[in-house]
Structure formats: structure tokens, C-alpha cells
Amino acid sequence: MAAKKRVRKNKQIKASEVRLIDEDGTQLGILNIKEAIELATNKGMDVVEVSPNTEPPVCRILDYGKFLFEQKKKTQGAKKKQKSIQVKEIKFRPLIEIGDYEVKLNKIRAFLEQGNKVKVSLRYRGREMRHVEL
């Protein structure tokens, strides 16, 4: 499993100055980190570092608990959209009758239409191994 990306908030932010964005999305400009934290606590929210790699780092004023909840919902939604492809296996014997062959062929078509991969294997039993040419 991949390592979780930790998001810094409030006093965990190392920079002395940050570019601050309000909860509405309006840019408040470049502020001292102490001023930014004070502004956020007056509103009952947190300063969360959104883009740490820029100079100065971009931070938003938002509710940290709500932010984590939305991030978790996003990742769960992305996981739901991913479809796992399964490999289905159909086994044939060398002396299979036409009816059985057609049923298995229809089953293979159904698996392929569903988006699964199909592995077809030929299984020999007992004396059938001696007469592989059949």
C-alpha cells in the first residue's frame, strides 16, 4: 500500500510566510504564518497547506476534519470506479461432444463481453494422453 501523504496544518507549517486563500476561494495575499493562523482561529477553522512546493507555500482556511472527510470520499470513489479484470478458465477435454462444446463457447463469449480475460485449457485424462493426435 502506498504511503499516505500527510497534510500540514496550523503550527506544523514550517514557512514564515504563506499565500493565503479564504474558505470562499478568494486570495488574501501573502501573510505571516502567525497572522494566518490567528485569522483562521477567529473563524473557527484551520490553516491547511495545499501546495507546499511553491514559494511561498499556498495555504487555505478550511475545516480540517471536513477536508479529510472529503479526501477520503474522493479516494473511495476512485476505488469504486476501478474495475478488476478477472481471468476465467474454461477446461475442454479432447473428446467433447458438439452440444457441450457450444455451451462452453457461449460461456467464453459471455465472459469476454463482460470484460474478463479467458484462459482455455485442454485437459487429458488417463489413456487420452497416449492419443494426443485426437
The enclosing domain of 21 has a CATH number of: 3.10.20.80
User: In the chain, pLDDT over 70 holds for what percent of residues?
Assistant: 94
**Which has the higher per-residue pLDDT, 54 or 5?**
54
Q: Are 118 and 112 a contacting pair, CB within 8 Å?
A: yes
The pTM for the full model equals: 0.52
Q: Which domain holds residue 57?
A: 10-79
Question: What is the pLDDT at residue 134?
Answer: 60
Asked if residue 57 has a cis previous peptide bond (ω within 30° of 0), the answer is no
Do 22 and 49 reside in the same domain of the chain?
Answer: yes
For 32-53, write each residue's pLDDT tens digit. Answer: 888 888 888 888 888 888 888 8
Q: Which whole number is the average pLDDT over 84-88?
A: 83
Is 90 exceeded by the pLDDT of residue 119? Answer: yes
